[in-house]
Amino acid sequence: MIYTLINIAKLEQKQAIIGGKALWKRSMNTVNNKQHLKVLGSGLLGLILTVGIARFCYTTLLPAMQAEAELSDLAGGYLATINYIGYMCGALMAATIGNLKTKDMLYRAGLITAVITTLGMALTDNLWLWGILRFFSGLSSASGMLISAGLIMNWLLRHGHRAELGIHYAGAGLGIIVSGLAAEIMIGHLDWREQWLAVGLIGSLIAIPAWRWLPRPDTSHQTTAGQQLKDNPPSRRWLMLLGIMYFCAGYAYVISATFLVAIVEAQPALQGDGQIVWIFVGLSATPAVILWDRVARKLGELNALLIAFMIQIVGIILPALNDNLGLVLLSAVLYGGSFIGIVSLVLAMAGRFYPTKPAKLMGKLTLLYGTAQICAPAIAGIIADQGGTYADSLYIAAAISVLGAGMILILKASQQRELALINER
């Protein structure tokens, strides 16, 4: 009897230990899941601030600045170009700086810079000062698009999570919605200065969780399970083709990103609908990045990129062909759903090639993307100033998108040859 009671006690003790371990494991999973969501949330909010507000509010407020501050088409194009020069300088920093702690510092500096440069646009009407502000705004955009993406990718890989950036880049789509809704609400109530101040104040609130939720980086290059992270780079030729494709994507993206609202407002039948069209871009971009991750899992990244390019071509060209609001809204959905998918897929791919320093290749690719973004707005501004329209630039952007799609086909063939050579060894 006593022996039986002892066995029962031992069994109950063992069950209690097992139950305690299970409870501890569940609680740790809950903590890890909360931290996972916070890390992704920090990147998402950082993108809303550094890209959606600091960058895209220029797109939505450009018509007001042209009407009230007498900003010309040419000056508007040059300010957009200066913004992308800043973005390119930020990409260069991301490509050359390998220290994760330095990148963490730059990300946080980018959040502050985004707020200051947005508020600063309201405090002057001097074109030179605007140019300086747009330059540093571009720097801050790189901190959200690249540096935070690299920090988050490193955290995901270290903690055994799926190495995808769809949720992170959904922040760009949400940023478009924020910039579009803010402009739509403020039109007729606030002048251009007050609109910049309002979005700057919104940005200052967003900066707080974007700062606090991203943990400081670990520099051990080991996963939480103790495994060493190792880089797995592709060939130089493959990277060169990828870079050309991404240059084409950058050119096609920036024309619509900068001038879509102005293009829509310039058509008599669509006057007053520019902000609504821009909001549709954001509404499609926000869920699209997550859907593109799923498409890439099923069809492969290059096939997903090819589909995204074909959709982007249609989305870019539609506003230049007609002034029907329904088709223009369809264009906005196609464009918004494709451009952010291209960015997310390419940069996530780059991060997986170099898990120990994911932002370095992201930065190098973005230098090409940024070069296109410098050229394209300036060319569009010159065309418009010489008697053409911003819509003429859409035809050029669509043609360059076709070239980018061609690069993907070459990449697919090149990838198959590389795999065949590896299998022969």
pLDDT tens-digit map of 112-159: 999 999 999 999 889 999 999 999 999 999 888 888 888 888 788 777
Task: Compute the radius of gyration of the chain from its Cα atoms.
Answer: 24
Lowest mean pLDDT among 35-39, 57-61, 66-70, 253-257: 253-257
Between 209 and 419, where is the model more confident?
209
pLDDT tens-digit map of 259-280: 677 667 766 666 776 667 777 8
pLDDT attached to residue 10: 53
Lowest mean pLDDT among 93-102, 209-218, 294-303: 93-102
pLDDT attached to residue 120: 94
Percent of the chain with pLDDT over 70: 80
CB 68 within 8 A of CB 192: yes
pLDDT tens-digit map of 1-39: 555 545 554 545 555 445 444 443 444 445 567 888 888
Average the pLDDT over 215-239 and give the result: 70
Lowest mean pLDDT among 24-28, 81-85, 232-236, 299-303: 24-28
pLDDT tens-digit map of 276-314: 777 788 788 878 888 888 898 899 889 999 999 999 999
Confidence of residue 45 (pLDDT cuts 50, 70, 90): very high
pLDDT attached to residue 424: 45
Cα distances (Å, whole numbers) of residue 386 to 75, 164, 321, 389, 390: 13, 44, 21, 9, 11
pLDDT attached to residue 133: 95
pLDDT attached to residue 403: 94
To the nearest whole number, what is the mean pLDDT of the chain? 80
Between 352 and 175, where is the model more confident?
175
Structure tokens at 205: 């609130």
Percent of the chain with pLDDT over 90: 23
Between 354 and 109, where is the model more confident?
109
Average the pLDDT over 152-168 and give the result: 77
Residue 241 scores a pLDDT above 80: yes
> Can you give the chain as a three-state secondary structure string?
CHHHHHHHHHHHHHHHHHHHHHHHHHHHHHHHHHHHHHHHHHHHHHHHHHHHHCCCHHHHHHHHHHHHCCCCHHHHHHHHHHHHHHHHHHHHHHHHCCCHHHHHHHHHHHHHHHHHHHHHHHHCCCHHHHHHHHHHHHHHHHHHHHHHHHHHHHHHHHCCCCCCCHHHHHHHHHHHHHHHHHHHHHCCCCCHHHHHHHHHHHHHHHHHHHHHCCCCCCCCCECCCCCECCCCCCCHHHHHHHHHHHHHHHHHHHHHHHHHHHHHHCCHHHCCCHHHHHHHHHHHHHHHHHHHHHHHHHHCHHHHHHHHHHHHHHHHHHHHHCCCHHHHHHHHHHHHHHHHHHHHHHHHHHHHHCCCCHHHHHHHHHHHHHHHHHHHHHHHHHHHHCCCCHHHHHHHHHHHHHHHHHHHHHHHHHHHHHHHHHHHC
pLDDT attached to residue 234: 77
Query: How many C-beta atoms surround the C-beta of residue 238 within 10 A?
Result: 17
pTM for the model:
0.74
Residue 227 scores a pLDDT above 70: no
pLDDT attached to residue 78: 85
Enumerate domains of the chain plus CATH numbers: 39-424 (1.20.1250.20)
pLDDT tens-digit map of 355-414: 777 667 877 887 888 788 778 777 777 776 776 666 677 888 888 999 999 999 998 887
Q: Which residue type sits at 281?
A: V
Which of these, 66, 64, 72, 65, lies nearest to 384 by C-alpha position? 72
